[in-house]
């Protein structure tokens, strides 16, 4: 990225001597450029090393290829990040990588980096050390070099070459940083802050895979700005985005227009070309020089002007005053901040030279109060909306909510107007229906004129289909016979009652899934099951059902013990949810491919799982080694039995990945739901135990002494 450089011309007369300022190298300067440069060290590591990966892929001509990230976890506390660029040869390590302030990207606006500081950010972290593994082309063959970088006892950074060998791996650079166990969650949090803005998300390896929030834009402009849907975990206010990095915008300037200042707290993204804004050395904030502030204000004014123009363009397409008012309401509804809504002055907006909202027409916000009568003749308005019980709720209303998705239905049937309106609401993507009844045509006409509408914009009840008849019982009484049950809601609270809603259903009308229920808890035939555990059951068994191409479990109804015999006698099919779980578990336990994939994954931690039982120390040790480490270990451990096992793992990797979600779901059921589980044996074979520890007992001690596996490999080779 080309940095902004403002040239200052100073004319000096009569100088006797002239000298330039110098920088004294030493530990004090290194501390300033590393430890003191970043307020949030963990966030800086994730951000800076990730942007280096982006730049490496850009330079290699493959910007769409994801880099890989392994976040620290309880089993592997290293943070690892790898790109698949061209790699760094020994000259580039010596002449660029190890130098503070030296960069090969500061004359190129296709690159995010420029300052020559980001690659050294791991020195700001507590452990003060990291390893660099680089694979690069050298004279038509690939070389793999491993370096250890650390702060020495004098406080000066060192970089040591540990090994250099031929390699068949893809080119690129891998950086590994030993992390404190207390920072495992902090690295996950940092990932959720950095990666939402990346166009190409990284591929996460290992156990710790965070859920990256999505940046959802409500309104986007081709001119480099967007209004975002508010999302917890993503910047709330105005941000500047350069490349894949975002910077919060907030500065004071007495010349700042009020409307621009109001945008600072609005969820808006302003996109700038790399180098268009000046940044702080730590890349955590913008540096608000004159040019940077000028560019930001210009972009903010563009947002205001284009937003106003957007409203005016949509109003021009409206065919009636009523349609124009609905248009403004829908635009306003999209805007997540009242300060953004204030950009559109509703009291000034016009359509065909008519005020959209004249004085007295609006109440609070964009709500219009309806007159009680027209010419002394009263009429009725019922507002129908969906209630908390997912059933239409009817109430009297005297206001139109322009920001809501609504329709107006005219009562013109002798009977059945309300039922038709309710069914219309349920079957259409409409939030509110206003059902209006008039005593005469003149009042109808006056109402239409008041809203500025054409009669064709209203729906006549007579044009709607007759309501769907409700199911009847066979008793001959004509009444619907229903049974009171509890509907499981998949809530999030641990409060027992919050997970169930009371409802009534006709058990002879629908097929369903039920569970025995009492005192807000389910029963599996043996034990009480808490609602939050019940949710785990359903979510995991749905994964198994989906894999087997079967319909997932939908609504689950809790029924009293006395009702269960009625379900077995019903004319429809009712299934106990725990019967479904038992059936799916038993089916998978008999699947040879599943058992083999589960066994291999459990032995060697491919994908990882907190739920696997580790039955012995050997298993616990093997569990900590990932597949890449085992492949490297195979080069050292010259044993046919061990080698064949690793080879089998490599060939089975795709099969294991395919089963990964199913295995995790099965193991969570295995952990939570033990009474009826078909067990799968995952004990380690004796051959592996003997291979690892009887023949190479030193390996365990060495592995415990090296947190970074990449350091263990060259050490053992030299040994």
In the prediction, which pLDDT does 596 show? 64
Residue 619: HSE in the Cβ half-sphere, 13 Å Cα cutoff: 15
Report d(CA 652, CA 658) in Å as an integer: 10
Residue 214: what pLDDT? 84
- What is the average pLDDT score of the chain? 77
Does the pLDDT value for residue 606 go beyond 50?
no
d(CA 580, CA 600): 27
pLDDT tier, 324 (very low <50, low <70, confident <90, very high otherwise): very high
Tokens 């690793």 found at? 646
Instruction: Return the ∠ at Cα 318 (arms to 316 and 321), rounded to 5°.
Output: 110
pLDDT at 568: 83
- What is the DSSP-derived secondary structure letter of residue 95? I
Residue 398: partners with Cβ closer than 8 Å, 6 or more residues away = 369, 370, 372, 381
Q: What is the pLDDT confidence band of residue 637, given thresholds at 50, 70 and 90? A: low
User: Of 157-166, 229-238, 479-488, which gets the smallest average pLDDT?
Assistant: 229-238
Rounded to an integer, the average pLDDT of 126-132 is 86
- Pick the closest to residue 608 from 663, 538, 655, 536 (CA basis): 663
pLDDT digits (tens, 9 = 90+) for 186-201: 999 999 999 988 989 9
Percent of residues, the chain, with pLDDT higher than 90: 19
> 692 falls in which pLDDT band (50, 70, 90)?
very low
pLDDT digits (tens, 9 = 90+) for 520-537: 788 877 778 888 788 888
Burial (CB count within 10 angstroms: exposed 0-12, middle 13-18, buried 19+), residue 259: middle
Contact 112, 2 (CB under 8 A): no
Cα(300)–Cα(250) distance, rounded to whole angstroms? 12
Question: Across residues 290-315, what is the average pLDDT?
Answer: 90
Q: Name which residue leads in pLDDT, 334 or 306.
A: 306
Identify the pLDDT of residue 487.
85
pLDDT digits (tens, 9 = 90+) for 388-441: 556 788 888 888 888 888 999 999 998 889 989 998 998 887 889 999 999 999
Where does the pLDDT of residue 613 fall: very low under 50, low under 70, confident under 90, or very high at 90 and above?
A: very low
As a whole number of angstroms, the distance between CA 150 and CA 131 comes to 9
Please name each of the domains of the chain with its CATH number. 27-204 (3.30.565.10), 213-359 (no CATH), 367-463 (no CATH), 483-578 (no CATH), 591-718 (no CATH)
pLDDT at 210 over 70: yes
Quick one: pLDDT band at residue 128, thresholds 50, 70, 90? confident
Task: Report pLDDT for 683.
Answer: 42
Q: Rounded to 10 degrees, what is the CA torsion of 305, 311, 316, 317?
A: 130
Give the model's confidence band at 225: pLDDT under 50 very low, under 70 low, under 90 confident, else very high.
Answer: very high
């Amino acid at each position: 990225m080309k940095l902004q450089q403002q040239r200052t011309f100073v004319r000096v007369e009569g100088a006797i001597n002239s000298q330039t300022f110098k920088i004294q190298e030493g530990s004090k300067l290194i501390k300033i450029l590393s430890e003191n440069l970043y307020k949030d060290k963990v966030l800086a590591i994730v951000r800076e090393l990730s942007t280096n990966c982006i730049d490496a892929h850009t330079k290699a001509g493959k910007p769409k290829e994801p880099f890989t990230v392994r976040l620290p976890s309880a089993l592997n506390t290293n943070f690892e990040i790898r790109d698949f660029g061209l790699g760094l040869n020994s000259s580039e390590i010596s002449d660029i990588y190890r130098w503070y302030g030296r960069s090969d990207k500061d004359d190129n606006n296709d690159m995010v980096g420029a300052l020559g500081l980001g690659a050294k950010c791991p020195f700001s972290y507590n452990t003060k050390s990291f390893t660099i593994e680089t694979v690069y082309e050298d004279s038509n063959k690939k070389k793999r070099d491993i370096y250890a970088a650390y702060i020495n006892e004098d406080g000066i950074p060192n970089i040591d070459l540990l090994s250099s060998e031929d390699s068949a791996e893809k080119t690129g650079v891998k950086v590994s940083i030993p992390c404190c166990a207390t920072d495992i969650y902090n690295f996950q949090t940092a990932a959720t802050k950095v990666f939402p803005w990346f166009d190409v998300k990284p591929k996460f390896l290992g156990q710790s895979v965070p859920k990256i929030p999505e940046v959802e834009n409500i309104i986007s402009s081709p001119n480099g700005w967007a209004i975002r849907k508010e999302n917890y975990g993503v910047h709330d206010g105005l941000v500047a985005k350069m490349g894949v990095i975002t910077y919060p915008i907030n500065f004071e300037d007495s010349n700042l227009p009020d409307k621009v200042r109001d945008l600072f707290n609005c969820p808006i993204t302003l996109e700038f070309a790399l180098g268009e804004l000046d940044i702080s050395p730590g890349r955590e904030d913008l540096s608000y020089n004159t040019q940077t502030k000028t560019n930001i204000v210009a972009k903010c004014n563009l947002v205001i002007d284009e937003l106003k123009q957007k409203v005016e363009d949509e109003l021009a397409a409206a065919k009636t005053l009523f349609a124009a008012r609905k248009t403004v309401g829908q635009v306003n509804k999209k805007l997540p901040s009242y300060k953004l809504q204030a950009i559109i002055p509703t009291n000034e907006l016009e359509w065909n030279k008519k005020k959209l909202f004249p004085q007295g027409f609006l109440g609070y916000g964009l709500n219009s109060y309806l007159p009680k009568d027209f010419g002394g003749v009263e009429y009725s308005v019922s507002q129908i909306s969906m209630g908390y019980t997912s059933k239409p709720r009817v109430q009297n209303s005297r206001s139109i909510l322009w920001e809501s998705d609504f329709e107006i239905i005219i009562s013109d049937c002798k009977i059945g107007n309300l039922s038709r309106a309710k069914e219309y609401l349920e079957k259409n993507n409409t939030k509110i229906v206003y059902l209006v009844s008039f005593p005469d045509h003149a009042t109808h006409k006056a109402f239409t004129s008041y809203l500025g509408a054409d009669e064709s914009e209203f729906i006549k009840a007579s044009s709607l289909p007759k309501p769907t008849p409700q199911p009847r019982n066979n008793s001959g009484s004509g009444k619907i016979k229903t049974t009171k049950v509890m509907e499981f809601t998949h809530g999030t609270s641990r409060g027992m009652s919050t997970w169930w809603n009371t409802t009534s259903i006709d058990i002879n009308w629908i097929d369903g899934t039920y569970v025995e229920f009492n005192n807000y808890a389910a029963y599996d035939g043996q034990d009480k099951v808490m609602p939050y555990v019940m949710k785990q059951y359903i979510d995991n068994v749905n994964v198994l059902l989906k894999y087997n191409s079967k319909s997932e479990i939908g609504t689950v109804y809790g029924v009293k013990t006395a009702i269960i015999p009625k379900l077995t006698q019903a004319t429809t099919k009712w299934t106990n949810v725990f019967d479904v779980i038992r059936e799916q578990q038993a089916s998978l336990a008999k699947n040879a491919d599943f058992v083999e994939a589960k066994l291999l994954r459990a032995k060697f931690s491919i994908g990882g799982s907190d739920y696997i039982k580790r039955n012995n120390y050997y298993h616990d040790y093997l569990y900590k080694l990932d597949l890449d480490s085992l492949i490297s270990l195979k080069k050292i451990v010259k044993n046919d039995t061990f080698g064949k096992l690793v080879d089998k793992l490599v060939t089975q990797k795709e099969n294991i990945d395919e089963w990964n979600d199913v295995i995790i779901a099965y193991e969570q059921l295995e952990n939570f739901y033990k009474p009826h589980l078909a067990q799968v044996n995952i004990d380690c074979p004796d051959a592996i135990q003997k291979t690892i520890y009887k023949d190479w007992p030193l390996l365990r001690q060495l592995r415990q002494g090296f947190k970074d596996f990449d350091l263990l490999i060259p050490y053992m080779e030299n040994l």
